[in-house]
Amino acid sequence: MTNLAQTADDLARFLMARVPVVVLRAQEHSRAIDVVHAAAGRLSSLPFYIHSPANGLTDMEGRSTQDDRSLAGAVEYATNAFRSRKMTNFVFIDVDGIDSDSGTAKHFVEVARLAEDSLSCLIFITAGPIWSGLARLGMTAELDLPDVDELAHQIAALIDANRAGKVVEWGPAEVRQAAETLQGITGTEATNIISTVLAKNSLTRDDMAELSRYKDRIFGELAGLERIKLKEDDYQVGGLESLRAWLRDREQLIKADLSNSPVPPPKGVLLCGVPGCGKSLSAKAIAAEWKLPLYRLDMGAILGKYVGESEGRLREALDTADRVAPCVLWIDEIEKGLAGGEDSGVTRRLVGQFLFWLQESVSKVFMVATANDVGSLPPELLRKGRFDEIFFVDLPDESEREDIIRLYFRRYMSTDPSPYLMEDLVRAADGFAGSDLEAACREIKVRMMLDKTNQLPDDSAIIAHFRAVVPFSRSNPEDVAAIRAWGRDRAVPASRQTGAAAAPGQAGVRQVLSFETNQ
């Protein structure tokens, strides 16, 4: 049973019980009116009237009952009806001033008592709160946003009505996928998006990515969430074979119809490792590869100075992430927001709320969290089942450094280094992270631009640029050793390759994550 049908059933039962006040909470008034019509159809012998600011007071067929369109006129009409006959129902849409103990709210309390005496009912349709003194006189029903089943039915009907003269490649599977993509928005918004796509006289499988882009525009700037704009095929990943194979399996799950399956959607991955090895960029690569919108959860924007403010912002951000799903949610350096600190009470509450969301959310939000100091995270966050997996990203070994150097030479200099130069550069870059290698190559290109030349410097000058870089593994060897010690024993290597340590005197598994921007 869809949420629409369930809410209509609840409303019908309230009406049959002659509850004097019913609050119908709904973000979409047109669907709320559909609920009222469905419930009224089961009590066809009873009169129903609807008042809205635009139409005034009408009967269920939309016929106006009086010239006075004001709320005061409708309330007076209802009052007289309750005094003269029994079992009459009045629906009021978006009444101002009933969210507190105002004069309007108190007036409706008196009208509700008349309704109770005459076995009649007042129904309030609203997206906001109702004063408790009025709401407690009756019952409340919640009309959620359309679920996948309802959206699929709505999309299929819209496509069938506009199929003539159009190339339509979508079948039931594509309709279901579109419904999952658009879940979290109103039925009207979903209709607008599908109609916009249909306006080009075709509906192909490639249009599925366009649905996410249109949905993304609906939400605008979101509290605590930053939209990261991506270009198609903007990021290419090298290395990390184990991680990439694992992600290919999760992509199938994130795009599959799991509504009738006991398997929940994948929750996400925690990437830990040496700074500068591409952990943060992996979130962009995943979103680009899967053609999903990417949102960054800014823990700095979440934290507030007032009691309960941080928790409220985190709850709002995570609720919004559920609404924009399917998406990739990126939390960079998660330890800075959830590690213990001076205000451990706030931290504990944030961790508790975050863990509750991880446990209970069933939306297709794939989280990519990164951490440099993963040892500072609370142990309960690392327990199996919170994230689907924890991967360790290490410094690149010799062969991986060669691949990354070649990648950045092509990006910045549009050429490959000679084999002899490559051998010297790989040796000079011992202990470099991917970011260090990019910085060295970028500096070479900057020098060429300043010298106004397209000619590569000689080999000795290029090697000098590499030797001028002091990588993190040399400036902070103790930190690198501690990170590796944690990751070696407690995380899955992000690459299948193993070898000697990149940093002098260190041993461990080697991985690389590099990205190439298409020109």
Three-state SS letters, 161-175: HCCCCCEECCCHHHH
On whether both 388 and 502 belong to a single domain, the answer is no
Tell me the per-residue pLDDT of 96-143, one tens digit each, with 9 for 90 and over.
989 999 999 999 999 999 999 999 999 999 988 899 999 999 999 999
Burial 471-506 (b: 16+ CB within 10 A, else e): bbbeeeeeebbebbebbeeebebbbebebebbbeeb
Tokens at residue 189, please? 């918004």
On whether both 275 and 193 belong to a single domain, the answer is no
Tell me the per-residue pLDDT of 438-493, one tens digit each, with 9 for 90 and over.
899 999 999 999 999 989 999 999 999 999 999 988 888 888 888 888 887 788 88
Cβ atoms 127, 23 nearer than 8 A: no
On whether both 163 and 266 belong to a single domain, the answer is no
Tokens at residue 164, please? 């003539």
The domain total for the chain is 4
Residue 500 lies in a domain: yes
Cβ atoms 218, 185 nearer than 8 A: yes
344, 360, 393 - which closes a domain: 393
Smallest CA-to-CA distance from 92 within 147, 132, 133, 36 is with 36
187, 219, 251 - which closes a domain: 219
Pairing of strands 225-228, 294-297: antiparallel
On whether both 80 and 29 belong to a single domain, the answer is yes
219, 245, 262 - which closes a domain: 219
On whether both 501 and 417 belong to a single domain, the answer is yes
Tokens at residue 67, please? 């010239």
Domain that residue 372 falls in: 237-393
Q: Alpha-carbon distance 346 to 357, whole Å? A: 17
Residue 208 lies in a domain: yes
Residue 272 lies in a domain: yes
Sign of the dihedral through C-alpha 415, 244, 423, 475: positive
Q: How many CB atoms lie within 10 A of CB 316?
A: 15
On whether both 116 and 175 belong to a single domain, the answer is no
On whether both 328 and 422 belong to a single domain, the answer is no
**Mind listing the pLDDT tens digit of every residue in the chain (519 residues)?**
677 888 999 999 999 999 999 999 998 888 999 999 999 998 888 999 999 988 999 998 889 988 889 999 999 999 999 999 999 999 999 999 899 999 999 999 999 999 999 999 999 999 888 999 999 999 999 998 898 888 999 999 999 998 888 888 899 989 998 998 898 888 999 999 999 999 999 898 888 888 888 887 777 555 567 888 776 545 655 567 788 888 888 988 888 888 778 888 899 999 988 888 778 778 888 888 888 888 888 776 676 655 567 788 888 888 888 888 888 999 988 887 776 554 557 778 888 888 889 888 888 999 999 888 777 888 888 887 788 999 888 888 788 788 888 888 988 998 999 999 999 999 999 989 888 998 999 999 999 999 999 899 999 999 999 999 999 888 888 888 888 888 877 888 877 654 433 444 343 333 333 334 444
Smallest CA-to-CA distance from 181 within 333, 99, 293 is with 293
Residues 6+ apart with CB under 8 A from 146: 2, 3, 4, 31, 154, 183, 186, 187, 190
Residue 225 lies in a domain: no
On whether both 435 and 501 belong to a single domain, the answer is yes
The DSSP H or E segment spanning 514 is strand 514-515
Tell me the per-residue pLDDT of 175-204, one tens digit each, with 9 for 90 and over.
998 998 898 888 999 999 999 999 999 898
Smallest CA-to-CA distance from 37 within 13, 57, 11 is with 11
On whether both 297 and 201 belong to a single domain, the answer is no
Smallest CA-to-CA distance from 160 within 175, 173, 182, 181 is with 175
Q: What is the DSSP letter of 342?
A: S
Q: Alpha-carbon distance 9 to 42, whole Å? A: 9
Residue 506 lies in a domain: yes
Its pTM stands at 0.67
Sign of the dihedral through C-alpha 209, 214, 218, 224: positive
On whether both 367 and 241 belong to a single domain, the answer is yes
Q: What CATH number should be reported for the domain holding residue 289?
A: 3.40.50.300
On whether both 419 and 327 belong to a single domain, the answer is no
Residue 231 lies in a domain: no
Residue 441 lies in a domain: yes
On whether both 490 and 457 belong to a single domain, the answer is yes
Q: Alpha-carbon distance 167 to 88, whole Å? A: 50
Residue 227 lies in a domain: no
Q: What is the DSSP letter of 261?
A: -
Q: Alpha-carbon distance 271 to 72, whole Å? A: 61
Q: Which strand ranges, in their side-by-side order, compose the sheet holding 48-52?
A: 56-59, 48-52, 89-93, 121-126, 21-26, 139-143
